[in-house]
Structure 1
Amino acid sequence: MIVSGASVAGAAHLDAGRGCEDAFRAVRTDHGVVLAVADGVGSRPRAALGAHLAVDTACRVLTAVPAPGPDADAGRWSAWTADRGARLAESCLRHARSLTGGEDAGELAAALLVALVRAPWVAFVSLGDCFAAVLTRTTGPDGRAERHERCHLVLPPPVPDGPPPAWTTSPAAPLRVRTFSLWEPELSGVVLATDGCAPLALDHPSARGLPAAAGPQPNPRFLPALAAALRRSGGAAAPLQALLAGPAAAERTGDDLTLLCALAEDGREWS
């Protein structure tokens, strides 16, 4: 398995004299790999610290209890994911209150997205406006995976006119945390990203001839090409860092950009 990630400060943040307020972390265990990305709420004075606190807490909570096995049923995976999600939301809020003395935990507000990958299962826990996609690749009768990889948006960003998202420090976070488990036998990659990456990785539905109600669609040229580049580099983050820091990203978004992924290596099983 290849695990690779990068964070880049957005042009608007740099112009304002602010550093990157995103964070990411990945932890390998004997029962899967945990991926976590967080986006500190930019209007808050300790947003960057809040993002780092969120990913550290996420990795600790999701590794504290072993995930079900690959052959476990959907009920066990859903129950485990829901339990870890509730514990994570409670832990983020408790730690933020402890650091701030309980006066204004909102200073550490962040969006948080976590995934535990134990192929063919992926468990997701989300607070805020980050998004997630998975990559799939069909395996032929000879057991070899085809070269063409497909991208599926499994957790889209919230709709602009929808209710405001709950952050890690929102009092209602334990009630509004989103959890779900995905079984995908053709899984070849899992990608988590903060909302600054949306203009690069996602297309407006009109680009597919779909109505606006269909919501954002994965850009078929972005994530599969990035996954191929990361596999060629053996997981070195240089291609990802260069892409996020490049002129195309600066033209499309001024926000911080963070992307973290776990990929099955070409011709190999998940490990």
Structure 2
Amino acid sequence: MIVAGAVVQGTGHLAAGRGCQDAFKAVDLGDAAVLAVADGAGGRERSALGAHIAADTACRVLAEDAPGPADSPETWTRWTAAAGARVVAEYVRSVTAVLRATAPAHRPDPPDPSDAGTVDTGALAATLAAALVRPPWAAFVSVGDCFGTLLTREAATAAEPEPAERCHLVLPPPGPGAPEPVFLSSPGAALRARTFVVWEPDLSGVVLATDGCAALTLDHPSVRGLPPEAGPLPSERFFCGLAATLRANGGDAEPLRALLSGPGAARTGDDLTVLCALAGGR
């Protein structure tokens, strides 16, 4: 499996003198990969650190006791739902520990460590999208406005030795007029987390991205002659082209970094992060 990712500081952040607030991490499990991308809340004091904690936490949780390819849909569904709740709980525990450890020395004795409500974890607020990719399964955990795309490709045949790859937006970003995004540190985040499982025998890859990438990677439905209600569609030129490039070069992420640094991406002003796992390579 090929795993590749890149993060590029947004032009708006650069102009404002703000550091990059995105983060990503991946874990190789041999026959599977765990992916996580996180986006620190803009304007929050330490949201970049929060994004790194979120990506690290998600990868650690999703790599533990993961179901196998032969396990039942019920097993996968239960495990994914439990993993989503654990990601939120572990994130809150970690950022609470960080905030207490870095509190001013003159602060009074800290309260009971089990009482996370006494610490404002919003300073490290972040959104998250994570996935365990173990073909033919893909399990997703999401809090906030990051998004995810599934790639499929049918088996080769004599009539079609190189079948086309297709992309499917299985974890869409919020649409226009949607409420403010939920953060991992938001009250009730565990109840508002999205968790789901996809079984797809033709699964060929999973791509996760932070919300700053939407303008670069998603098409308006009118591009395919569909009404606005159809919602955003994954750009075949971006996702399928990226997969072909990474398979051809063995997973070198430099072409991906170049895409995220190009003129088409610069107009968003936001940080951009893309991370993918592709079957059929090493």
Shorter-chain TM range is over 0.9
Q: What are structure 1's unaligned runs of at least 5 residues?
A: none
Using the size of structure 1 for normalisation, the TM-score is 0.93
Query: What's 1:37 paired with?
Result: 37
* RMSD over equivalenced CA pairs, Å: 1.7
Query: Does structure 2 conserve the Cα–Cα contact (< 8 Å) formed by 1:137 and 1:146?
Result: no
Name which of structure 1's ranges 212-221 and 2-11 shifts more when overlaid on structure 2: 212-221
Aligned residues between the structures: 265
What CA distance in whole angstroms lies between the structure 2 residues aligned with 1:145 and 1:32?
Answer: 26
Q: Which amino acid aligns with 1:29?
A: L
Query: Does structure 2 conserve the Cα–Cα contact (< 8 Å) formed by 1:203 and 1:217?
Result: yes
What CA distance in whole angstroms lies between the structure 2 residues aligned with 1:48 and 1:96?
Answer: 12
What CA distance in whole angstroms lies between the structure 1 residues aligned with 2:97 and 2:142?
Answer: 22
Alignment of 1:77-226 (within 5 A): 77-101=76-100, 102-141=118-157, 146-226=162-242
* Secondary structure of the corresponding residue to residue 200 of structure 1: helix
Q: Which amino acid aligns with 1:61?
A: V
What CA distance in whole angstroms lies between the structure 2 residues aligned with 1:181 and 1:213?
Answer: 25
Q: What are structure 2's unaligned runs of at least 5 residues?
A: 101-117
CA positional deviation for 1:30: 4.7
Pairing 1:249–2:248 present? no
CA positional deviation for 1:180: 0.2
CA positional deviation for 1:160: 2.5
What CA distance in whole angstroms lies between the structure 2 residues aligned with 1:138 and 1:27?
Answer: 26
Greater C-alpha Rg: 2
What CA distance in whole angstroms lies between the structure 2 residues aligned with 1:143 and 1:27?
Answer: 37
Query: Does structure 1 conserve the Cα–Cα contact (< 8 Å) formed by 2:137 and 2:197?
Result: yes
Pairing 1:24–2:39 present? no
Deviation above 3 Å: which 4+ runs of structure 1?
140-145
Using the size of structure 2 for normalisation, the TM-score is 0.90
Query: Does structure 2 conserve the Cα–Cα contact (< 8 Å) formed by 1:9 and 1:256?
Result: yes
Q: Which amino acid aligns with 1:194?
A: T
Name which of structure 1's ranges 109-118 and 143-152 shifts more when overlaid on structure 2: 143-152
Pairing 1:258–2:273 present? yes
Q: For residues 35-70 of structure 1, what are the alpha-carbon distances to aligned partners after superposition, in whole Å with 9 as ceiling and x for unaligned? A: 000000112111110100101111111122x22111
What CA distance in whole angstroms lies between the structure 2 residues aligned with 1:77 and 1:144?
Answer: 33
